[in-house]
Amino acid sequence: MHEVVCKLSNEASDVRCAVCGQGFLVYWSRFTRAEQDHGRRVIQEQLRQHHADGLRSGEAHEVHPKESFRVFETHCERPGETGAGVVDETLDELVDEVDPQAV
């Protein structure tokens, strides 16, 4: 299964939230250029969904995860929510090595 991991970044970014402008680095696992383009649209929708969820829960000021989160075709998972068999350890190690403040 292909996987995408997004990690909050205040310096460089591959994707920015259309609502608040927060930047995210994106780590792709075995994706073609066309799949990445589609993945960016999915990521944008999920970033907007963070805001919608935050408004519903009354926590609209901090809606995006402060740590990395996985993006799948229909949903995103924050750390600790991953299902069996979807963790790509190599990608996890790469994301853990990158300090978002240093990028």
Write down the H helix ranges in 1-103: 33-57, 89-97
Average pLDDT, the chain: 75
For 48-83, how does the pLDDT look when each residue is reduced to its tens digit (9 = 90+)?
A: 999 999 888 887 778 998 888 888 764 455 544 444
Sign of CA dihedral 29, 83, 22, 90: negative
